[in-house]
Amino acid sequence: MLALAACSQVDGSLPSATVTEGEDLTVVENRAPLWTGDDGWTLADEPSLVIGVLDGDAEYQLYGVRAARRRSDGGVVVLDASNVVRHYAEDGAFVGAYGGPGSGPGEFGAPTHLIVRPDDSMVVWDSRGFRLTHLDAMGRLVDTRTLDLAALANAVAPPLYPATGEPLRDGRVLVRLVGKDGKGTAGSADGVFRDRTGALIAAPDGTIDTLGFFADNEQSTLPALAIPVVPARAKRTELAASPAGDRICIGEQEAPEITCYGPGTSRLTFRWTAAPGPVTDADVAAWIDATAEAWGPKMSVSEAEKLLSEVVHPSMRPSHGEITIDDTGHIWVEPSRGPDGAPGGPSAVFDPNGVLLGEVGLPPIRVLEIGDDLLIGVHRDELEIEYVHVYELRKPPP
């Protein structure tokens, strides 16, 4: 028996959302935000802390930032392409560097994720070795754990294989799968296709549970070379894990809809109104220019442009962008970004029950972490120099 519940009133007559509650699935249809007037959240106009320099000491020069997390003492740890975890104090002063390039204990080959536990110990995920490295609060090696790739591969049927992972605070790992058949088994249409993919949860005791299956990132075919390429404004499936690791949200970008798994066996699907619009000729032209330039070492720009002009592109832009679950369980959904990666507008904020609260304007950054009172992101300037910015997140009193 399903129960229908109307959330709080917006104008006294129409509910902001309708909630349909089933035995293990709750569906929320959002019609309007709850925030009105000055009761919404805002970010400070300027960052309270900036880490990074154009010229200066090497400890402050960042590139390829993958993650940044706050410590309990107000300090920040940053993981970038140098394969080192850098520790900065609350005022931005460099404290120390942990790890380094390599394959030995405490070294990293291709680290992509970093989490900070409540005791300020750190866990780094190295995608090259499918390995977790646990460091204490001072950056000393505690232990390492390598996932069994064969066991992960055997947990699903080909052509799905483990591609990468993300550590969760409770010791489990979210493993994302990739399809290798290239047949476009999920939503093939007009030359644009999405392979089938999915995700697993790998526990420290070796237990492997299937989270779910969904569409992979959108691809198209380059006719002359018969190879897949990522077309203009391609849709991609976004995954986000809560800081506690008890909830994982998935958005395929086909529609303004996100499904969250957990806590426990519960599922939540919430929807909202969005109009992403069509992929334009300008989108395609920008994609051809950027791709042709990237192919520069392999062929001339004119040759690349001729090949790329034959690629078929999706008709509609993604319905949303990246997903972030903050420390209080709220779900932040960015709009689709522009072809240059610039933010497409304010993020929609949903409460832990999937009800739309409102929007928060974002500065030109890529969000890395959202706490109860701050937001951390990476900003790239016109010279391609990267900086980690920390902004105060302001919430009116309840």
On average, the pLDDT of the chain sits at 90
Together in a domain, 88 and 36: no
Evaluate whether 334 touches 377 at the Cβ level (below 8 Å): no
- Whole-number Å distance between alpha carbons of 194 and 188: 6
Residue 115's DSSP bridge partners are 123
Quick check: 5 pLDDT over 80? no
> Which residue range(s) make up the domain with 201?
147-222
Together in a domain, 70 and 108: yes
Quick check: 360 pLDDT over 70? yes
Together in a domain, 213 and 248: no
Together in a domain, 38 and 118: no
Residue that wins the pLDDT comparison between 10 and 235: 235
**How would residue 3 be classed by pLDDT, with cut points 50, 70 and 90?**
very low
Among 174, 189, 222, the domain-final residue is: 222
DSSP 279-347: PPHHHHHHHHHHHHHHTTTTS-HHHHHHHHTT----SB--S---EEE-TTS-EEEPPPPPTTS---SPE
pLDDT at residue 370 in the model: 97
| CA max distance for the chain | 65
- Whole-number Å distance between alpha carbons of 161 and 130: 13
Q: For residue 36, tell me if it sits in a domain.
A: yes
Q: What CATH number is associated with residue 27?
A: 2.40.10.500
Quick check: 2 pLDDT over 50? no
Residue 304 one-letter amino acid: A
Question: How many residues are present in the chain?
Answer: 398
The mean pLDDT of 256-280, rounded to a whole number, is 93
The mean pLDDT of 354-361, rounded to a whole number, is 96
Evaluate whether 347 touches 40 at the Cβ level (below 8 Å): no
Strand 366-370 and strand 374-380: the pairing is: antiparallel
pLDDT at residue 190 in the model: 57
Together in a domain, 241 and 355: yes
The mean pLDDT of 95-106, rounded to a whole number, is 94
pLDDT digits (tens, 9 = 90+) for 296-337: 778 888 999 999 999 999 999 999 999 999 999 999 999 987
Together in a domain, 216 and 174: yes
Quick check: 4 pLDDT over 70? no
pTM for this predicted structure: 0.92
How would you class 353 by CB atoms within 10 Å of its CB: exposed for 0-12, middle for 13-18, buried for 19 or more? middle
Quick check: 398 pLDDT over 80? no
Together in a domain, 127 and 178: no
What is the count of structural domains for the chain?
3
The mean pLDDT of 107-124, rounded to a whole number, is 95
Together in a domain, 265 and 377: no
Quick check: 223 pLDDT over 80? yes
The mean pLDDT of 19-36, rounded to a whole number, is 93
